[in-house]
Amino acid sequence: MAKFRKKGTETAPEQSKSAARDEHEGNYSLQSKAVETLANADKEPAPQYSKEELNKYRSKKGFKIPKAVKILFLKAWMPGAVCFFILWGLGNYIGTQLDMMVVLGFVMGLVTDLLTNSIIRYFAETEGANDEWMMFPKKGLLSFFLNLIYGYVILLMVFMTYNRINIAANSMMGTTDQVVLGVEPIVFGLLCMAFDMLLIGIKRVFIMIFQDAKKKAAGEN
């Protein structure tokens, strides 16, 4: 006996297969586009934002120590530490004052080049931003030897200041050979920082004069 099927029962499975096929193709197309987008992401140039725009999204909480304060403190603390460890620590082992000056100046120049200047560069937000705080900012063998000489220059100026103060104090009190202001780390470090910044300021003035003269010479030509 022949079996009869209801109308439309034969096309229903075909319609379901067609719909499933379309859905699968749509998902495959979306996935292909996503993979292509990720593959080409590194080829597109990254957007550039200004420093002011980036600062808007940085945390503003807490007290931020100004850069100048940090650098000046570093320039005073490092020579003070050298005075503590070398002048006070080795004072009983180094016989003459001249020998002590030689050792102290060498260590000051060494610390300036290898430690102080390196930390100042680390503080810089961009490369070269803190060069103005150093007498010889470029890293290299030449700067190393120049900083050694610079250490002796600073040391000589500091000890001349100590001598002048003691001579003036003895003159006012009517005494002779009395040490009114002895060498200790805090005042020693502050004097080193002051003379360092004085010489750096003089260097800046000469650079400005040279640059202005160069611009005027270029304008005349």
Through-space distance between the first and last CA atoms of the chain, rounded to whole angstroms: 115
96-101's contacts with Cβ under 8 Å and 24+ in sequence apart are 101/155, 101/159
Instruction: For residues 15 and 55, give the distance between their C-alpha atoms in angstroms, rounded to a whole number.
Output: 59
CB distance 139 to 115 below 8 Å: no
pLDDT tens for the chain, 221 residues long, are 444 444 444 445 555 555 555 555 555 565 566 556 655 655 555 566 566 666 665 555 567 889 999 999 999 999 999 999 999 998 888 878 899 999 999 999 999 999 999 999 998 988 889 999 999 999 999 999 999 999 999 999 999 999 999 999 999 988 888 888 999 999 999 999 999 999 999 999 999 999 999 888 887 66
What span, in angstroms and rounded, lies between the C-alpha atoms of 170 and 165?
A: 9
Q: Which stretches of 124-184 are DSSP H helices?
A: 141-173
Query: What is the predicted pLDDT for the residue at 92?
Result: 82
Collapsing DSSP to helix, strand or coil, 133 comes out as: helix
Residue among 97, 115, 207 at smallest CA distance from 156: 97
Q: What is the pLDDT of residue 94?
A: 87
Backbone phi and psi for residue 105, each to the nearest 5 degrees, phi listed first: -65, -40
Nearest to 69 by CA among 109, 126, 111, 120: 120
The pair of three-digit structure tokens given for residue 17, joined into one six-digit string: 């297969």
DSSP, res 155: H
Closest Cα partner for 108 from 181, 202, 189? 189
Please report the pLDDT score of residue 34 as a whole number: 58
Torsion region of 104: left, alpha or beta (phi above 0 gives left; psi -120 to 50 gives alpha): alpha
